[in-house]
Amino acid sequence: MTSTMEPAAEQRELPETRDRREFLATRRRTVAVELTMTVLTVAVAVLIAFLVVLATGKDAGGALDALLTGPLERTPRIGRWLADATTLSLLGLSVAIPFRARQISLGAEGQVYAGALASALVAINLHLPPVAAVLVPLGAAALAGGALGAVPGVMKARLGANEIVATLMLNAVVVRVFDYLLTDHLKAPGSSAVQSAPVRPDSALPLLSNFFEVPLDQANIGLFGMLAVAAAVWFLLARTPLGYRIRVTGSNPDFARYGGLDVPRTIEWSFVIGGALAGLAGAHLALGIYGGLQPDMAGGLAFEGIVVALLGRNNPVGVVAAALLYSYLRVGGDVMEQQTDVGSDAVTIIQAVIVLLVTARALPELVKRYLARREAR
Amino acid sequence: MGSVLDVVLSTAFFAAILGVSTPYVLAALGGLLAERAGVPNIALEGSMLSAACAGALVAGYSGSVWAGAVCGIAAGSLLALLLGVLHLYLGADAIIAGIGLNLLAAGATSYTVFALLGDKGGTSRLHSGALPSLRLPLIEDIPGVGAVLSGQNVLTWAALAATPVVAWLLYRTRFGFHLRAVGEHPEAARSVGIHVHRVQFRALALSGALAGAAGVFLSMGAVSFFVTGMTAGRGYIALAAVFLGALRPWGVFLAALGFGTAEALAVQLGNLDVPGQLVSAIPYVFTLLALAFFAWRRRRASRTDAAPAPLTGPPVLESP
């Protein structure tokens, strides 16, 4: 009998306390493993690109040096890094929310253009008092992006339409409408290049270099706005009923349905919120980076948001960290192209390898099995 | 308005439609094969791009357009097979892996072009030539049709021929029967001894080859050089044609032809002061509406007999 008796201190501990402790310990372990895996993934991707560059007979060492140390060498590069990370974080968050509800939204591209268009239209045409001059265009961008997100959201949630095709089609439509409006109606009079009139100075996002007295290129207070948005997304997912519904719908849709959660409505909201965030990314491009509208201003950024969301494991903190890492590589790629004979496209290869390694979920298992077999031999 | 009709009803315009539609038809048929085998192939875009690049480079360096075409098609096929390895053996999500492969194709093609030729824009300084156009003596003499078809590129002819061939393959051969079985119910197919992964791999190889032919047409048919990013989202449009065509060969062919028509129309109307961008957006609006309509009809049909299709796919990634 005495052998089964537990010490007095342990007896007084509530089972809930013990569960909580075990849960936290497990979570700490998982986070540590995930972090290691992420760093390993990026390292492997960089290594593969390094080997590709080496194989094509270029100065791989110099290229790697430029890629990894270049962005920190001059303050304007740091500024470009932070500005790029702001856009990418917003895009990553916009993709991560539908991802958490197990929805694949590829609509960020159209939503970025819609957000840029809405914010620029307000910022070019409306006289507003100082602070509202920044906030109203941002609100317009979020609304436009959210409205655009609602279309595939409703189609998916109410009709069961394929959200991938729906978002791709909507992108194709919006990009063309944007192009039409820009070339035929918004082109600045007297300008030979296809671009809109600049936004009013009051509406441009204030540059960080005004506060820090060092040249920081286009980095602007959008950076802090983005951090606030990331915190809000964390709060939404972790601390609100809607966030709970999104997480349950994503992790166990059957449980969500039998538990009486309104799964279609949850899916719709995940698309709308994702769209609003992508719209904000568009506003950051229009009001912060370009100060107006330009053709092809989003480039391939929308798909890179997916990479960032994947790399950040759809977790708000992870997404911001991944965006910082990722845009560091993008800026480094540009430096590499300037300083060596290696094209910045090597960075695109790194990005692609990252996506493929992250999504190949069975890969770590296969590697582990292979190592075990070798050890047994 | 008279001038618009003149342009639209001319044989030159119909000939242009066929040319513009060729990459859509070929890639969409490729997408169809993969989709029917149960693997959504979003890497069509990447297959097209890598095929366009490989084709122009090999043709330019070897001097033989046919060697270029073969290598291009092989490159497209290879990328689709890579999707197969990632999805079927490494447990990757097919959509995410497809996006990754498209990124890989974009990066690898422009990196290669820059490394070989020192030009970020494309291979225009490499005189790679184009595949020949074909004049068939009998068809050329048919009034009306002859003028449209005659002098079309070899690959346009291939696109026209590919639709009945794919239909025959899907519905009249043992392989096509297995392919559809695997796509509709893999467990059932496995239980009667069909090698599911093998069938899916073959479907993907064919899918990538067709998308590769589409890419080769872009760089060695429509023009005779490769431009970085020259596919410009055509692979994604082809994927939409697969769904708009209700997953049937002739439906897919018509949908792809519709996209091609709208694009050709946009180019023509651009000269006539009609906003071409809006005209070219019409088929995508139409696809959205059709997508909603099909889904609504399916949902209404399923409400009476079976449970509706699940709203959620596999988890995109578990987070800690």
Q: Chain A residues with CB inside 8 Å of B292's CB?
A: 155, 159, 161
- Does the distance separating the beta carbons of A58 and B311 come in below 8 Å? no
- Does the distance separating the beta carbons of A345 and B110 come in below 8 Å? yes
User: Range with the lowest mean pLDDT among A343-357, B160-174, B197-211?
Assistant: A343-357
Confidence at A1, pLDDT banded by 50, 70, 90 = very low
- Does the distance separating the beta carbons of A360 and B97 come in below 8 Å? yes
Candidates A168, A247, A334, partner chain B, best to mutate (most B CBs within 10 A): A168
Taking all residues of chain B, what is their mean pLDDT, rounded to a whole number? Answer: 84
Confidence at A342, pLDDT banded by 50, 70, 90 = confident
Tokens of A66: 């430029």
Whole-complex ipTM:
0.83
- Among partner residues B90, B115, B237, which is closest to A363 by beta-carbon distance? B90
Q: In this prediction, what percent of chain A has a pLDDT beyond 70?
A: 97
- Does the distance separating the beta carbons of A348 and B107 come in below 8 Å? yes
- Does the distance separating the beta carbons of A315 and B319 come in below 8 Å? yes
- Position A9 scores a pLDDT of 54
DSSP for B217-260 reads: HIIIIISSS-BTTTTTTHHHHHHHHHHHTTT-HHHHHHHHHHHH
Q: How far does A2 lie from chain B, in Å, by closest CA?
A: 40
| CB within 8 Å of B154: residues ≥ 6 apart | B131, B132, B133, B134, B221
Q: How far does A320 lie from chain B, in Å, by closest CA?
A: 15
- Does the distance separating the beta carbons of B104 and A349 come in below 8 Å? yes
Asked if A130 and A299 count as a contact pair (C-beta separation under 8 A), the reply is no
Q: Mind listing the domains of chain B with CATH numbers?
A: 2-131+148-301 (1.10.3470)
Taking only the tens place, the pLDDT of each residue in A168-178 is: 889 989 998 99
> How far apart are the C-alpha atoms of B105 and B101, rounded to whole Å?
6
* B227 bridge partner residues: B122
Considering only CA atoms, which of B105, B126, B134 is closest in space to residue B43? B105
Considering only CA atoms, which of B116, B89, B84, B115 is closest in space to residue B101? B84
Considering only CA atoms, which of A85, A81, A41, A47 is closest in space to residue A64? A47
Q: Chain A residues with CB inside 8 Å of B110's CB?
A: 343, 345, 348
Q: Is the pLDDT of residue B252 over 80?
A: yes
Q: How many residues make up chain B in this entry?
A: 320
Q: Chain A residues with CB inside 8 Å of B317's CB?
A: 99, 310, 313-314, 358-359
Report DSSP state, residue B39: -
- Position A173 scores a pLDDT of 92
> How far apart are the C-alpha atoms of B295 and B253, rounded to whole Å?
21
Instruction: Estimate the share of chain B in helix, then strand, then coil, as percent rounded to the nearest 5.
Output: 75, 0, 25
Taking only the tens place, the pLDDT of each residue in B77-128 is: 999 999 999 998 888 888 889 989 999 999 899 888 888 887 777 777 777 7
Nearest CA in chain A to B312: A102
Give me the mean pLDDT over the A339-353 stretch: 84
Asked if A352 and A44 count as a contact pair (C-beta separation under 8 A), the reply is no
Q: Chain B residues with CB inside 8 Å of A253's CB?
A: 310-312
Q: How far does B48 lie from chain A, in Å, by closest CA?
A: 17
Taking only the tens place, the pLDDT of each residue in A89-147 is: 999 999 999 999 988 888 999 999 999 999 999 988 888 888 888 889 999 999 999 99
Taking only the tens place, the pLDDT of each residue in A176-231 is: 899 889 888 888 777 777 788 888 887 788 788 777 777 777 888 889 999 999 99
- Position A303 scores a pLDDT of 81
Q: Chain B residues with CB inside 8 Å of A159's CB?
A: 292, 295-296, 299
Q: Chain A residues with CB inside 8 Å of B310's CB?
A: 253
Give me the mean pLDDT over the A325-335 stretch: 89
- Position B319 scores a pLDDT of 46
Confidence at B144, pLDDT banded by 50, 70, 90 = low
The secondary structure of B153-191, three-state, reads EHHHHHHHHHHHHHHHHHHHCHHHHHHHHHHHCHHHHHH
- Does the distance separating the beta carbons of B107 and A349 come in below 8 Å? yes
Q: Is the pLDDT of residue A278 over 90?
A: yes
Exposure string of B137-160, with b = 16+ CB inside 10 Å and e = fewer, is eeeeeeeeebebbbebbbbbbbbb
- Among partner residues A31, A173, A358, which is closest to B320 by beta-carbon distance? A31
Q: How far does A22 lie from chain B, in Å, by closest CA?
A: 15
Considering only CA atoms, which of B114, B121, B129, B103 is closest in space to residue B45? B103
> How far apart are the C-alpha atoms of B309 and B294, rounded to whole Å?
13
Q: Chain B residues with CB inside 8 Å of A314's CB?
A: 316-317, 319
Give me the mean pLDDT over the A290-303 stretch: 84
Taking only the tens place, the pLDDT of each residue in B196-229 is: 899 999 999 999 999 999 999 998 887 888 888 8
Q: Mind listing the domains of chain A with CATH numbers?
A: 37-53+60-358 (1.10.3470)
Q: Chain B residues with CB inside 8 Å of A101's CB?
A: 312
Q: Chain B residues with CB inside 8 Å of A363's CB?
A: 90-91
Q: Is the pLDDT of residue B306 over 60?
A: no
Q: In this prediction, what percent of chain A has a pLDDT beyond 90?
A: 29
Tokens of A180: 């039409």
Residue pairs between chains A and B whose CB atoms are closer than 8 Å: 195
Taking all residues of chain A, what is their mean pLDDT, rounded to a whole number? Answer: 86
- Among partner residues B104, B275, B320, which is closest to A30 by beta-carbon distance? B320
Residue B171 Cα to chain centre, angstroms = 20
- Position B320 scores a pLDDT of 41
Q: How far does A112 lie from chain B, in Å, by closest CA?
A: 17
Q: Chain B residues with CB inside 8 Å of A349's CB?
A: 104, 107-108, 111
- Does the distance separating the beta carbons of B310 and A253 come in below 8 Å? yes
What does each C-alpha distance from A174 to A108, B109, B203, B280 come to in angstroms?
Answer: 11, 27, 33, 11
Q: How far does A216 lie from chain B, in Å, by closest CA?
A: 28
Taking only the tens place, the pLDDT of each residue in B9-58 is: 677 778 888 888 999 999 999 999 999 998 999 999 999 999 999 998 99
Q: Is the pLDDT of residue A73 over 80?
A: yes
Q: Chain A residues with CB inside 8 Å of B115's CB?
A: 56, 58, 343
Q: How far does B240 lie from chain A, in Å, by closest CA?
A: 6
pTM for this predicted structure: 0.87
- Among partner residues B40, B275, B320, which is closest to A313 by beta-carbon distance? B320
CB atoms within 10 A of CB A33: 12
Give me the mean pLDDT over the A271-300 stretch: 90
- Position B128 scores a pLDDT of 74
Candidates A173, A175, A181, A337, partner chain B, best to mutate (most B CBs within 10 A): A173
- Under DSSP, is residue B38 helix (H, G, I), strand (E, B) or coil? coil
- Position B138 scores a pLDDT of 67
Q: Is the pLDDT of residue A8 over 70?
A: no
Q: Chain A residues with CB inside 8 Å of B106's CB?
A: 300, 345, 348, 352
What does each C-alpha distance from A98 to A7, B53, B239 come to in angstroms?
Answer: 48, 34, 21
- Position B137 scores a pLDDT of 67
